[in-house]
Amino acid sequence: MPSVTVRPVKSKGDLRAFIKLPFRLHRGSPWVPPLIMERREFLDRDKNPFFEHAEAEYFLAERDGEIVGRITAHVDERWTQFQGGNDGMFGFFESENDPDVAHALIHGAAGWLRARGRERMLGPMDFTTNDECGILIEGYDLRPMVLEPWHPPYYRELLEGLDMSKTMDLLMWELHLGRLKQGDRFHDFIHEAAQKSHSEHGVTVRQMRKRDLEVEVGRFMEVYNQAWGPNWGFVPITEEEVRFQAKNLKPILDENWAMIAEREGEVVGAALTLPDINQVLAKMNGRVLPFGWWHFLTGRRKVDKVRVFALGVKPTYQHYGVAAALYVRHIETAARVRQKGGEMGWILETNEPMNRAMEGMGGNVVKRYRLYELPLAA
């Protein structure tokens, strides 16, 4: 069999091949094609504000004239600032079921990082833990929800066959929220804490205003950057990244599911829950034209699941029942709209308070993603 070569992405054609590879590798699987135009913009170093504090290289693996794999290597100075160490990352990993291809890709990414003095490679992250990340290791038969990756089982085998070891698992919890009877699908303590948050602490929960989305997402990110600060792998998002994300989220945001918790005029908590637009994207095959917009406009009204993308409370207010108030608002919302449940996460496997809360709401872990590491000894 011809040998595998790995080379950087240098042209628009290379970038298109990079974006299109998983369309071939995952045809007929639960994988959902992303919008090609969105991926192109996300990978554009002049448009994605990630590159204001990071550098990256994109690689293609080729054998006998055919693209058989892809990977990125990147160094994020904000990761170094907030997480410490001397790490580099890899991401966007896709490969044929061939150990030679995987080895060539990992070797190429590791060499690029080693040349920049990195001592450990972590991933996959596309590009950060605020984006899609991890390799799917449980839940292969389930279609990924919005902003979730999907991988075949052999990806795990390929990486672990290269002596990559587990760093952290990320959990996705399935929740059914369309019932209001206490004790039916969730624990009474959630309702009790929510009631006290309002009666004793004056916490109120309202919907985000889509007409003022950039400001509202800014309020959410204020909570996000404080609430997730102590977590493993967390890197605060910048104002420029907020604006970039707000533009991408506006077409799919549903005011019913985006929530702000306030106390005496201060934002103290927030939840960003997204309709599972993957139910629509699955029919668009990555394209807006000629029929993609029609699928989007007609299909989004039929979306029947949501993903709780992020829910958090500022540290000062984490004993005020704010999270419980946000949970209960989700239950109340599910009782009056089409979506009756979905998934929440990802949640770190080490985050015991959140995982216990998911159990208290009758949740079940349905997907597990794994981040890997590889020492980069000289």
For residues 323 and 342, give the distance between their C-alpha atoms in angstroms, rounded to a whole number: 18
CB within 8 A of 51, min separation 6: which ones? 45
CATH superfamily name and code, 5-169? Gcn5-related N-acetyltransferase (GNAT) (3.40.630.30)
> Could you tell me the residue ranges of all domains in the chain?
5-169, 174-368
CATH T-level topology, domain 174-368: Aminopeptidase (3.40.630)
Report, as an integer, the average pLDDT of 280-295: 71
Q: Are 279 and 299 in contact (CB under 8 A)?
A: yes
Q: What are 56-86's pLDDT values in tens digits? A: 999 999 999 999 999 999 999 999 999 988 9
pTM: 0.93
Q: What are 166-222's pLDDT values in tens digits? A: 999 999 999 887 654 444 456 788 889 999 999 999 999 999 988 888 788 888 889
Peptide bond into 124 cis (omega under 30): yes
Orientation angle between helical segments 188-199 and 322-334, nearest 10 degrees: 110
Q: What percent of the chain has pLDDT over 90?
A: 72
Residue 176 amino acid letter? H
144, two tokens: 């990924």
Q: What are 315-339's pLDDT values in tens digits? A: 999 999 999 999 999 988 998 899 9
Residue 331 amino acid letter? I
- The CA dihedral of 274, 207, 330, 272, to the nearest 10 degrees, is 30
Orientation angle between helical segments 188-199 and 352-360, nearest 10 degrees: 110
**Which residue, 286, 280, 276, is CA-closest to 27?**
286
Residue 279 amino acid letter? Q
Query: What was the pLDDT predicted at 165?
Result: 97
CA-angle at 268, arms to 246 and 193, nearest 5°: 125
356, two tokens: 């216990």
Query: What was the pLDDT predicted at 269?
Result: 96
**Which residue, 14, 18, 89, 10, is CA-closest to 53?**
89
Q: What percent of the chain has pLDDT over 70?
A: 94
pLDDT tops 60 at residue 126:
yes
Average pLDDT, the chain: 91
For residues 101 and 119, give the distance between their C-alpha atoms in angstroms, rounded to a whole number: 23
Same fold across 5-169 and 174-368: yes
**Which residue, 40, 22, 42, is CA-closest to 31?**
22
Q: 145 pLDDT band (50/70/90 cuts)?
A: very high
